[in-house]
Structure 1
Amino acid sequence: MDPLLKASNDWDLATFVAQYGLLFEASPWVAERAWHSRPFRTREELLECMSAIVMEADESLQLELLRAHPELGAKVRMTAESTEEQRGAGLDRLERDEAYIFGRMNAAYRERFGFPFIIAVKGLTADMIADSMQKRMMNTAAEEKTRALREVCRIASFRLEHMGADPAAS
């Protein structure tokens, strides 16, 4: 069995939340709820549980989760996880004109949908992200909220992949 899961199945609530609370941006409530479904046999099972919690949460909690994400390419304070993810996509190195365009697109997206554009940036370039944002602007509000929540779950899956067994090390 995965050493992380073997250990986490025995953790108290506080330790479990300390380890997994960062999977979903500034939303430890997801880990708190998942703790009650232990034991988990695989990381996939844990992620499925947490994703179901997110998808079945009431709309106010879902919107709170979506709004906790930083805008892509923005020079704002964000979690270490988001900083690293954006750095990996080159969003920390945008030229001034690119940063301006991202800023305008982010503002238009937020105005239309009420939350920031969210996409799992792993493996994507700034151009690919901008193209996705333009395409997704055509979605209905309901379609886009569902898409954004799915992207949040993908981000959590990437974060979970990189976790070790020691909650103090993550």
Structure 2
Amino acid sequence: MADTRLLSPRPSTLDEDAFVACYGDVYEHSPWIARQTHRQGLGEEDDRPAALAARLAAVFDAADEEAQLKVLRAHPDLAGKLAVGEALTADSSAEQAGAGLDQCTPEEFERFQALNEKYKARFRFPFILAVRGLHRRDILAAFEARVSNDPETERATAVAQVNRIAALRLAARVGVN
């Protein structure tokens, strides 16, 4: 059964600036995705989290490689900045803390740091994973598996994960998990 809950404020009722103010943070430091989505026109169907997530994802997916890479590079390292107390967006902080990344053992923290360095050297953007509902051991296992992907596969995986994160953020705004 489809979820019938609506976002508030309803996206279809907002002018461009209000829409960007409300939904421009769904993609990490990339309000241009919301702005471009609004400019394409929104209907009442876009007032539901899943529909709006699909619209935003279509804009991100259609962006050129350089624009996508900028979005990927806007994401924080997992168990990186959070663990050393640097600023994260409220969403990223809550997502990482929810996965227990703020409670890493020294060994886990060291492993995350080594994987972050290896991954960024190989792909030129941070490892991205929708961590909601995962434990840090699951995240480490995914990290270790994906660090050996070829660059094209990994970029596509990272783009898909960014879209998943955005969809989860929108769903959380109406209590859908």
Tell me whether the two structures share a fold, i.e. TM-score over 0.5: yes
Aligned match of 1:39 = 43
Kindly provide the amino acid, as one letter, of the partner of residue 80 in structure 1.
Answer: A
* Alignment equivalent of 2:87, drawn from 61, 77, 88: 77
For the residues of structure 2 that align with 1:27 and 1:50, how far apart are their CA atoms?
11
What CA deviation, in whole Å up to 9, does each residue of 1:54-103 have, x standing for no partner? Answer: 11101111011000000000133210100000000000111222111110
Q: CA deviation at 1:148?
A: 0.3
The alignment partner of 2:54 has SS state of helix
Q: CA deviation at 1:7?
A: 2.7
Aligned match of 1:144 = 154
Aligned pair 1:92/2:110, yes or no?
no
- Matched pairs, number: 164
Q: Which moved more, 1:41-50 or 1:54-63?
A: 41-50
Aligned match of 2:26 = 23
Kindly provide the amino acid, as one letter, of the partner of residue 112 in structure 2.
Answer: F
For the residues of structure 1 that align with 2:10 and 2:171, how far apart are their CA atoms?
16
Unaligned runs of 5+ in 2: none
The alignment partner of 1:154 has SS state of helix
For the residues of structure 1 that align with 2:124 and 2:93, how far apart are their CA atoms?
22
The alignment partner of 2:7 has SS state of helix
The alignment partner of 1:4 has SS state of coil
Unaligned runs of 5+ in 1: 165-170
Q: CA deviation at 1:40?
A: 4.2
Aligned pair 1:119/2:129, yes or no?
yes
For the residues of structure 2 that align with 1:90 and 1:2, how far apart are their CA atoms?
29
Q: CA deviation at 1:8?
A: 2.0
The alignment partner of 1:97 has SS state of helix
* Alignment equivalent of 1:51, drawn from 49, 52, 57: 57
For the residues of structure 2 that align with 1:152 and 1:98, how far apart are their CA atoms?
24
TM-score (norm 1): 0.91
- Identity over aligned residues, as a percent? 37
Kindly provide the amino acid, as one letter, of the partner of residue 26 in structure 2.
Answer: L
The answer on whether the counterparts of 1:5 and 1:43 sit within 8 Å (CA) in structure 2 is no
For the residues of structure 2 that align with 1:45 and 1:3, how far apart are their CA atoms?
10
Residues 97 and 57 (structure 1), Cα distance of their counterparts in 2 relative to 1, 3 Å cut: same
What CA deviation, in whole Å up to 9, does each residue of 1:125-165 have, x standing for no partner? Answer: 1111111011111211010000001000110111001225x
Q: CA deviation at 1:43?
A: 2.3
